[in-house]
Amino acid sequence: MGISDRVSNAVSSIQTGAKNASQSVLTLIIKTVSVLILGLTIAMIFQELVGYGSLAFVFVLLAVGAGFFRLLLKFNLWSTLVFDLICVLVALLLRMYILMAP
């Protein structure tokens, strides 16, 4: 095996590592944004229902966010995107129910 084969293998290994690293960072960012939006929504709903203050709002946001983040840790990128799609569809369904309710 010559020097060109070694260099080719090293470059191929670096490309594969960079691809995997960028995909895992993208997945982590998508999971974090999804969890924060979901936690914020649920915290706002509970704040309207119960009427608690800022500290409890932040606590509920972090608690719900941590719970959903723990759930999403097992998911890959596509599973996370499907989860986000389901959350959007449920939100649209609830919005339609609120608009049509008498």
What is the model's pLDDT at position 1?
A: 66
pTM of the model: 0.79
What is the model's pLDDT at position 3?
A: 84
CA atoms of 81 and 43, how far apart (whole Å)? 22
- 52-71 per-position pLDDT tens digit: 889 999 999 999 999 999 99
What is the model's pLDDT at position 20?
A: 87
Cβ neighbors of 36 (< 8 A, separation 6 or more) are 61, 65
What is the model's pLDDT at position 17?
A: 87
Residue given tokens 């097992």 in the structure block: 74
CA atoms of 95 and 81, how far apart (whole Å)? 21
3-state secondary structure labels for all residues of 4-31: HHHHHHHHHHHHHHHHHHHHHHHHHHHH
Residues of the chain predicted below pLDDT 70: 1
Decide if 31 contacts 80 (C-beta within 8 A).
yes
What is the model's pLDDT at position 67?
A: 94
What is the model's pLDDT at position 35?
A: 94
Map out the domains of the chain as residue ranges: 29-100
